Amino acid sequence: MVTRDALAEAALDTLPITVAILDGDGEILLTNQSWKEFAPDLDVDHVGVNYVATARMADDDYARRAVEGLEAVLEGDRDTFAMEYPCHTPSEKQWFLMRASRFAVDGDVRVSVVHLEITERKLAEIEADEAVERLREEQRNLEHVLERVDGLVRDVTDAAVGAASRDEIERQVCRRLAATDPYVLAWIGRVDVTTRRISPREWAGRDDVPLENDELVLASDESHPAVSALEAGESRVIQNVADFEDADRWWPTGADEWLQSVAAIPIEYGDVTYGVLVLFADEADAFDDRELLVLESLAGTVSTAMNAIETRQMLTTETVVELQVEIEDPSLFVKALANDLEAAVTYRGLTYDRDGTALVFFYVDRTDSVADAAVSLDGIESATVLSEYDDGTLLELSVSDDVVVAIADHGGVVQRFDAEPNGRTVDVALQLPNSQSTRSIYDLLEQRYDRVELLSYHESDQPTRTPRDVLAELDSELTDRQQMTLQKAFYAGYFEWPRTVSGEELAESMGVSRSTFHQHLRTAQGKLLAELFAADPTSEG
């Protein structure tokens, strides 16, 4: 019969966190498998070592805090102690959470010491703090620009930072700008991804001016400064409307009484375009270089605030955008591979290796010369045959600058990226978190390829907790190696019966031993099942 102590020790060995049990003097009585693997070069369990005495030897503030906390728990002054600490290596930054808890067994004092890696959470916190600091720095910089617009900078920045939604940002910014001389009208427009039409969403100023709504379409006419600014990705200015050849097309007769100059500034954050800000002034030459610098800085503040709100909303959104397009370009490697091999190419998935290189998986309806044809294409660094079937081959492609990676970087999920040998187009289906990322991805595709045709655009509700949510939470739990192992095994057909690839073959493709591969796979499967069962509303606990 298995004893209770043996069962507890075996259970500890399954935990993906390092655990040690101390006696009342701080001596290690028991460690789990993760503790031993944390320093594999030592390959010892440290049983019999005085943990507190060893920690006291380290001469740094974190060690001193740890010793003080552990001694307080051992002496019974407190029941628990927890602290976060860095443990960086020359190759990467790492953070851990140490937690010590006092308990008793048969009247004897015992203390459990747990170390949990929190690197991803810490990096996310640092990134969030840096984003907040960038926003504050933008505000500090703007407040020192020009004396005349000091009040404007402060008002617009406060409106952007203090707003609770993107609509409120646009509304408040337009009001603040239109209330500042020499501006008499301000509007902010967004681009519809399906019609490519720029539509003013918020405006303020004169009420007797017919806005250019339904008249501005990207690529159809670049004479309007709003269209030109979005097409070029930089500000456009008309310093004197009277000299503008197409003025009568966009603005009413008699507008020269109040409309003298116009500026259009794209609202962009990185490669995401949120829209365009259009300002009208009752003075000619109102938008000199200094004025434009201020407005571009303001647009940067507005876009940063919009991005912060969009990011927050993405975490709680209940809708997704489903996009389907056709791409016609013989240089697109999926199309080139299908043509070269005269075989259908079907997308299977995406993961990353330990150095961050993207690994994209495709199934090819052919069994000979597949890897050689793939590696000869531009952008393909290496090609590996993971599995061979009677009628096809599963390829792992190591890519550098690939559109599939760009889509993933925008928060998109590729559902289909397929090419037939006799067709001219690549069939692409994507799922994206919002309309802004959809617009950016569509623009990216149009910039890269000869012809991109939008087939469908659909916003749909998603369940409260979707597979995407489970994957996002699982991503924070899995290490890079665990995630890569799990995805490779799945894409290669390791879980199919009969198996088309062995664990030894997959381990070799990853450059690790067979036992290491299976260890990563078991750990990843355990975390996946735990997350899936937690996601099931019918499960207990």
pLDDT, mean of residues 203-214: 67
487-527 pLDDT tens trace: 777 777 777 777 777 778 777 877 788 788 778 778 878 77
24-76 pLDDT tens trace: 898 999 888 888 877 655 556 788 889 888 888 887 888 899 999 999 999 99
Task: Say whether pLDDT at 394 is over 90.
Answer: no
Alpha-carbon dihedral 242, 248, 249, 252, rounded to 10 degrees:
110
Confidence of residue 1 (pLDDT cuts 50, 70, 90): low
Confidence of residue 534 (pLDDT cuts 50, 70, 90): low
Task: Choose between 221 and 191: higher pLDDT.
Answer: 191
Residue 320 and residue 462 in contact, taking contact as beta carbons nearer than 8 Å = yes
Q: Report how far residue 513's alpha carbon sits from residue 139's, in angstroms, rounded to the nearest whole number.
A: 53
pLDDT at residue number 144: 44
Share the mean pLDDT of the chain.
80
- Domains of the chain by range and CATH? 4-117 (3.30.450.20), 124-315 (3.30.450.40), 318-461 (no CATH), 463-541 (1.10.10.10)
Alpha-carbon dihedral 404, 408, 414, 418, rounded to 10 degrees:
0
Letter for the amino acid at 423?
Answer: G
Q: Say how far residue 541 (Cα) sits from the centre of its chain.
A: 31
Q: Report how far residue 418's alpha carbon sits from residue 170's, in angstroms, rounded to the nearest whole number.
A: 40
Task: Choose between 5 and 233: higher pLDDT.
Answer: 233
Q: Report how far residue 364's alpha carbon sits from residue 67's, in angstroms, rounded to the nearest whole number.
A: 59
Task: Say whether pLDDT at 270 is over 50.
Answer: yes
Of 343, 389, 342, the C-alpha closest to 365 is: 343
Q: Report how far residue 460's alpha carbon sits from residue 463's, in angstroms, rounded to the nearest whole number.
A: 10
Per DSSP, the residues of 118-148 read -HHHHHHHHHHHHHHHHHHHHHHHHTTS-ST
pLDDT at residue number 318: 59
Q: Report how far residue 318's alpha carbon sits from residue 88's, in angstroms, rounded to the nearest whole number.
A: 38
Task: Choose between 330 and 478: higher pLDDT.
Answer: 330
192 sits in the region (left: phi over 0; alpha: psi -120 to 50; else beta) called beta
Of 303, 318, 325, 295, the C-alpha closest to 436 is: 303
Task: Say whether pLDDT at 79 is over 90.
Answer: yes
Alpha-carbon distance values, 527 to 486, 513, 522 (Å) = 11, 21, 9
280-293 pLDDT tens trace: 888 888 888 878 88
pLDDT at residue number 536: 45
pLDDT, mean of residues 454-475: 64
Confidence of residue 277 (pLDDT cuts 50, 70, 90): very high
Task: Say whether pLDDT at 252 is over 70.
Answer: no
Residue 326 and residue 452 in contact, taking contact as beta carbons nearer than 8 Å = yes
Task: Say whether pLDDT at 468 is over 70.
Answer: no
pLDDT at residue number 510: 78
Distant-in-sequence contacts of 134-142, Cβ < 8 A, 24+ apart? 134/304, 135/161, 135/301, 135/304, 135/305, 135/308, 138/297, 138/300, 138/301, 138/304, 139/301, 141/297, 142/294, 142/297, 142/298, 142/301
pLDDT at residue number 99: 93
pLDDT, mean of residues 90-109: 89
Range of weakest confidence among 338-347, 409-418, 473-482, 498-507: 473-482
Q: Which residues, 6+ apart, have CB-to-CB distance to 140 below 8 Å?
A: none
pLDDT, mean of residues 18-29: 90
Question: Which run of H or of E encompasses 515?
Answer: helix 514-535
Percentage of the residues of the chain whose pLDDT score is greater than 70: 83
DSSP-based three-state secondary structure for 233: coil
- Number of residues assigned to the chain: 541
pLDDT, mean of residues 215-227: 75
Task: Say whether pLDDT at 295 is over 80.
Answer: yes
pLDDT at residue number 541: 34
Residue 428 and residue 335 in contact, taking contact as beta carbons nearer than 8 Å = no
Alpha-carbon distance values, 28 to 17, 146, 441 (Å) = 16, 65, 55
Task: Choose between 353 and 256: higher pLDDT.
Answer: 353
Alpha-carbon distance values, 219 to 101, 195, 511 (Å) = 65, 11, 49
Confidence of residue 538 (pLDDT cuts 50, 70, 90): very low
